Amino acid sequence: MRPADRYEFFRRLRAANPHPTTELVYSTPFELLISVVLSAQATDVGVNKATARLYPVANTPETILALGEDGLIEYINTIGLFRSKARHIMGLCQMLIEQHNGQVPHDRAALEALPGVGRKTANVILNTIFGEPTMAVDTHIFRLGNRTGLAKGKNVLEVEQKLLKNIPKEFLVDAHHWLILHGRYVCVARKPKCEACIVEDLCAFKGKILPTYLTE
């Protein structure tokens, strides 16, 4: 994709959604961190349903530790991999208290040192909470980067690095959210909604699904 097309791609996404954000429901940095950990191999809708019950009862490292692992599981057992996630969250809370005064650190290395937190989760926190121009490449962004020609890569790190290089700087802070939402609702995996896509004419995808009158 040419630089001018990349600029127009994000200009249109910004015009359609000037203030994009995560669909995870949270009110504090800690709540977002827990929600992102829970969201691995789970839907945001499913996570939000669980945290709507959990956060009124426990939404700090101290109160989650007070629940205990079994107590936490009672709130999150509708989410995939809930046992391992509960174990990670208990360790995460303990480390936040011992090393960061119970606060979510503004540091990639410190975030990635937390149990259950990898590069993608750290990128979400650095971007959404701290406003850093990071790119958390999930399955939607990986697919979209390769399909559109924005950033072709064989693995998530390669796609992440190419997106950070290719996206014009003025769009970088919000680009992660625009791409996730576009991949989740328009550029879906099996039958992309090309006829409803506002950047279809800029996209390099050769298997576009368009009404006949748009292809004649």
Residues carrying an active site annotation: 120, 138
- Cβ atoms of 180 and 120 within 8 Å: the answer is no
Cβ contacts of 113 within 8 Å, gap of 6 or more: 95
Structure-token match 């999150």, residue found? 76
Distance CA 203, CA 1 (A): 8
Give CA–CA dist 120/111, Å, rounded.
11
Q: What letter would DSSP give residue 187?
A: S
197: buried, middle or exposed (CB in 10 Å: 19+, 13-18, 0-12)? Answer: buried
Neighbours of 212 (CB within 10 A): 6
CA distances from 124 to 39, 60, 77 (A): 12, 19, 24
Structure tokens at 91: 């360790």
